Amino acid sequence: MWLAEPQKKTGPTAILIHMTERPLQVMAAAAELYQGRVVRNPQEISRETAERWFTDMTKTKLAASLEFIDLHFLLEGVSRAFTHQLVRQRTAVYVQESLRFAVVEDLPVGVPPSLQALKEDDPRRVVWTDTIDEIANSYMQLIGAGIPAEDARSILPTNTLTRVHYKTNLRNLADHAGNRLCTQAQFEWRQVWAQMIKAVRSYGVWPPSQEWQFERIAELFKPVCFQTGRCQFRSMADRACSIRDRVEEHWHRGEEPEQWTDIAPREWLADPNAAR
């Protein structure tokens, strides 16, 4: 058994380990073939051409060109409840920190939003904290008594924090973002996505001449209603949403998402109660 590197308990973080260089130019090089033009060097693609193709590819289901853009993230401080959902995306590759072989000392557990809002001496938060402390002590006692990590881990809570390498392509990432940035997803998804969007933007800081490509890609990640122009979760079983009524009003008036000036991104992205 090995010791896992300690986790910070300050919320999820995302590092963009690697991304396709000159991503929009690479995407456009592939797309040019649709019109019979052969591009052998993506650097020959102008910004105007790349942006035109990017706009087109985000408006059609025939978006195979977006799959030429790969993104490899390292997500840290995310819960295992989150990664159980993350790996449902079948069009990605994952490597997750092992609890079979790695022992987690000072058990890191993410505090849910409804508990974070409570004072530490609130009886409800005390119950949660005392339970986590008891589990952490029991886990280390089992490890110390020679129980294998893969067996001792069976008592750990779902919100135990973990790390995962996550690699996918832009087409599938944007599709996944539509559902996971929606208020229907648990709040942790929006926390993680805020970090992923930040990581994409900062990845393009150097060279400055290429920054526009990463900025355009970051702007692509929005809830599904911003992609389709209408709320896609209107059944009796779906959760509440703080922006649904306004989205539906815009849809009935025939207004495109670009015209929705009354819906601020932080309203749905940063509010844990947006679906309550």
Amino acid at 115: L
**Are 106 and 233 found together in one domain?**
no
Q: Is residue 37 part of a domain?
A: no
**Are 156 and 242 found together in one domain?**
no
**Are 139 and 264 found together in one domain?**
no
Structurally, the chain folds into a number of domains equal to: 2
pLDDT at 169: 97
The CATH number of residue 179's host domain is 3.30.1360.170
Minimal CA–CA distance to 229: which of 203, 206, 252? 252
Q: Is residue 76 part of a domain?
A: yes
Q: Which of 219, 236, 255 is the last residue of a domain?
A: 219
CA distance 56 to 216: 13
**Are 164 and 234 found together in one domain?**
no
Q: 3-state SS string over the chain?
A: CEECCCCCCCCCEEEEEEECCCHHHHHHHHHHHHHCCCCCCHHHCCHHHHHHHHHHHCCCCCCHHHHHCEEEEEEEEEEHHHHHHHCCCCCCEEEECCCCCEECCCCCECCCHHHHCCCCCCHHHHHHHHHHHHHHHHHHHHHHCCCCHHHHHHHCCCCEEEEEEEEEEHHHHHHHHHHHCCCCCCHHHHHHHHHHHHHHHHHCCCCHHHHHHHHHHHCCCCCHHHHHCCCCCCCCCCCCCCCHHHHHHHHHCCCCHHHCCCCCHHHHHCCCCCCC
**Are 198 and 268 found together in one domain?**
no
**Are 136 and 263 found together in one domain?**
no
pLDDT at 14: 97
**Are 164 and 227 found together in one domain?**
no
Minimal CA–CA distance to 56: which of 89, 24, 93, 99? 24
Q: Is residue 31 part of a domain?
A: no
CA distance 129 to 126: 5
**Are 132 and 195 found together in one domain?**
yes
Q: Is residue 115 part of a domain?
A: yes
Rounded to 5°, the CA angle 66-216-90 comes to: 35
**Are 205 and 90 found together in one domain?**
yes
pLDDT at 206: 66
pLDDT at 124: 97
Judge contact between 137 and 59, C-beta under 8 A.
no
Q: Is residue 52 part of a domain?
A: no
The verdict on pTM exceeding 0.85 is yes
pLDDT at 269: 83
CA distance 189 to 181: 7
**Are 212 and 237 found together in one domain?**
no
Q: Is the peptide bond before 207 cis (omega within 30 degrees of 0)?
A: yes
Q: Is residue 214 part of a domain?
A: yes
Q: Which of 219, 240, 259 is the last residue of a domain?
A: 219
Residues in the chain: 276
Q: Is residue 53 part of a domain?
A: no
276 residues of the chain, pLDDT tens digit each: 788 888 877 789 999 999 999 999 999 999 999 999 999 999 999 999 999 999 999 888 888 999 999 999 999 999 999 999 999 999 999 999 999 999 998 999 999 999 998 999 999 999 999 999 999 999 999 999 999 999 999 999 999 999 999 999 999 999 999 999 998 889 999 999 999 999 999 997 766 778 899 999 999 999 999 989 999 999 999 988 999 999 999 999 999 998 999 998 778 888 888 877
**Are 15 and 109 found together in one domain?**
yes
**Are 118 and 237 found together in one domain?**
no
Give the range of the structural domain holding residue 233, as residue numbers without chain letter.
222-276
Q: Is residue 16 part of a domain?
A: yes
pLDDT at 190: 93
Q: Which of 219, 237, 268 is the last residue of a domain?
A: 219
